């Protein structure tokens, strides 16, 4: 959006010197972005005390002096059961096939 505004020269010179701005436009845009961020931060500050943060009761209990960590549950381990899988059978090649392969090798 094109806008014509009258800005104090000393203020613009100070703004250009304060940041890495090469043009007046960059300095003005940076100032507008800063105002936008500050407005968003103010809205967040208005929510202070209205929003529950943290882990809830667990965090509160950890901060109480008389609270104790519960004992971990005990687990009974059972011995491993033997496998019921049968070993794989080896397959042998047929004698006729072996003879055919041997003949090809000889020639």
Total domain count, the chain? 1
| Inside any domain, residue 45 | yes
pTM of this structure:
0.46
Q: Which pLDDT does position 29 carry in this prediction?
A: 95
Q: What is the spatial distance between Cα 58 and Cα 12, in angstroms, rounded to a whole number?
A: 53
The predicted-structure confidence for 86-105, as pLDDT tens digits, reads as follows 777 766 666 666 666 666 66
Q: Which pLDDT does position 102 carry in this prediction?
A: 65
| Inside any domain, residue 23 | yes
| Inside any domain, residue 70 | no
Residues of the chain with pLDDT under 70: 53-62, 65-68, 90-107
Three state DSSP letters for 34-62? HHHHHHHHHHHHHCCCCCCCCCCHHHHHH
Q: What is the spatial distance between Cα 45 and Cα 39, in angstroms, rounded to a whole number?
A: 10
Handedness of CA 61, 63, 65, 71 (dihedral sign): positive
| Inside any domain, residue 96 | no
Domain that holds residue 50: 9-63
């Amino acid at each position: 959006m094109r806008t014509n505004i009258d800005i104090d020269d000393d203020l613009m010179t100070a703004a250009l010197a304060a940041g890495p701005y090469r043009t007046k436009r960059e300095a003005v845009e940076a100032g507008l972005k800063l105002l936008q961020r500050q407005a968003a931060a103010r809205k967040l500050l208005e929510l202070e005390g209205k929003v529950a943060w943290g882990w809830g009761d667990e965090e509160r209990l950890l901060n109480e002096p008389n609270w104790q960590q519960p004992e971990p549950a005990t687990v009974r381990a059972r011995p491993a059961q033997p496998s019921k899988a049968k070993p794989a059978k080896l397959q042998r090649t047929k004698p006729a096939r072996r003879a055919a392969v041997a003949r090809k090798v000889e020639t």
